[in-house]
Amino acid sequence: MGERVTSVPVGTRGAVMRTAALWLLFLAPFFYLTYGVANWLASLRADVPNLAFGWEKYIPFFAWTIIPYWSINAFYALSLFVNDTPQDVGRLARRYLTAQVVAVICFIAFPLQAIFVRPETDGLPGFMFDVLGGFDKPFNQAPSLHIALLVIIWDHWRCRLKGFPRTVWHVWCVLIGLSVLTTWQHHVIDIPTGMLLGLFALWLFPADKASPLADFRLTKDRKARRLAIVYAVGATIFLLIAVVSLHSNGASLLWLWPSLALAIVAIGYAGAGPQIFQKQSNGVTSLASRFLLWPYRLGARVNRWWWTHRLPAAVKVGDGVFLGRAPGRDELRAYASVVDMTAEFPARRAAGLVWRAIPSLDLLPLSVASIRDGALAVEDVRSRGPVLVCCALGFQRSAAVVACWLVRSGHAANAAAATEQIKALGRPVHLKPQTYAAIDEAAR
């Protein structure tokens, strides 16, 4: 479907083919077995509800869209064989498996059914509908596994295609997505829930890096544990809202989005660390992170505005170094570089702007290494012009880095003196005594 980004050695190609074939031999029967069992269990119940908006009855039925609907089966298999290494095959297969397992658990725990009565169809579409009806009963609705797998497969190919073939791929994926409605296979609420599941699978097994949960170690930091509990409670509240309102309002399932976002943040504070945000050193975050964690970021932006809207966006500390909050797009015009200490906010792009990110979790003290890396980054980019050192509010993480830079550059004798200089500029600084010690150690 397009040019491969790299050529694959013959030996590696053989390993890819073998690995893909083995995964497919497992995934295909696993898919039909678990999907069929979930359907069968739902069919035994007499009270399987339906979640549909009244206006869905106006969605047209287009028999021909069964063709793009069915095409995902071919792409499901083909995508396993279009990889550069066996490890790439394994990552894609684990994404498939994650979507399948989570969806089936949802189908069993909260079965739903479609209420559409499709008209009679003939020809090729009629044959395809008949085959589909042999195993796909009107259950297994939300989250739409079809949409979850579409998100995973779309992402797999969009990174491998260029130019016109990539545009064609996007259009075809839109057709596949719409086909779940125009073939009357799913209701509207199944689509966003399926998208969340697909994005979660992408987030759990990201490309070119380890899973954000790979190095999970339960934290011993008491403050981090408290914050993890707070976010876990928030996630539970949103989940309960979704479940309690399930039978009366289909849109209530959208509360699963903030629930999932807060659950991921809770995992980060519990021990996974800033890797949950999947932010690179240039400030770029993964597609999955941007969408999955958007509700949390929305809350973080509101919090930033609440605490800083009466303050200057940044203050000049000296020698072209500024300390401030996470910047808005218009605020970037004054700077040549940004040293960003947040994990939660993606970089904002501007022409010629250099962005250095050292991701760290909000409200937790920085490590000595992070403080030192931040100070060194400030010194490295300062020759380019004005540099903004920022975190969410500019009160803690970035303040610690700027204080370290002041000490290292000879502008202050120690962390306490550097902090007083910053406060004298009218910028609040909220640093603990242990952070002062970390700053002084990083400045050596």
pLDDT at 194: 95
pLDDT at 134: 65
89: pLDDT confidence band, cut at 50, 70 and 90? very high
**Nearest-5° Cα angle at 227, 258 to 371:** 110
Residue 109's CB: how many other CB atoms inside 10 A? 9
360 or 38, which is more confident? 360
pLDDT at 208: 81
391 catalytically annotated: yes
What CA–CA distance (Å, rounded) separates 39 from 220? Answer: 44
pLDDT at 2: 44
pLDDT at 44: 81
7: pLDDT confidence band, cut at 50, 70 and 90? low
Residues 6+ apart with CB under 8 A from 378: 321, 339, 387, 389, 401, 402, 405
pLDDT at 136: 63
Overall average pLDDT of the 60-75 stretch: 93
pLDDT at 166: 95
**Which of 370, 376, 332, 369 lies closest to 354, judged by CA?**
332
Please give the order of strands across the beta sheet that includes 354-360: 314-318, 321-325, 387-391, 337-342, 354-360
Q: Is the pLDDT of residue 386 over 90?
A: yes
4: pLDDT confidence band, cut at 50, 70 and 90? very low
What CA–CA distance (Å, rounded) separates 140 from 142? Answer: 6
Please identify which of the residues 173, 390, 391, 404 carries the catalytic annotation: 391
Q: Is the pLDDT of residue 248 over 70?
A: no
Q: Is the pLDDT of residue 64 over 50?
A: yes
pLDDT at 264: 98
pLDDT at 51: 74
pLDDT (tens digit per residue) in 133-172: 666 666 677 799 999 999 999 999 998 999 999 999 999 9
pLDDT at 38: 85
- Mean pLDDT check: name the lowest of 112-116, 291-295, 369-373: 112-116
pLDDT (tens digit per residue) in 172-225: 999 999 999 999 888 888 899 999 999 999 999 999 889 999 989 999 999 999
pLDDT cut 90: percent of the chain above it = 74
57 or 148, which is more confident? 148
What CA–CA distance (Å, rounded) separates 370 from 360? Answer: 8
410: pLDDT confidence band, cut at 50, 70 and 90? very high
Overall average pLDDT of the 352-372 stretch: 96
pLDDT at 165: 95
Question: What domains lie within the chain, and their CATH numbers?
Answer: 10-204 (no CATH), 222-298 (no CATH), 307-442 (3.90.190.10)
Please state the φ and ψ torsions of residue 323, each to the nearest 5 degrees. -120, 130
Q: Is the pLDDT of residue 335 over 80?
A: yes
pLDDT at 209: 86
pLDDT at 275: 96
Overall average pLDDT of the 353-358 stretch: 97
pLDDT (tens digit per residue) in 92-138: 999 999 999 999 998 888 888 777 777 788 888 778 877 776 666 66
pLDDT at 1: 42
pLDDT at 186: 83
Residues 6+ apart with CB under 8 A from 175: 65, 68
Q: Is the pLDDT of residue 85 over 90?
A: yes
pLDDT cut 70: percent of the chain above it = 95
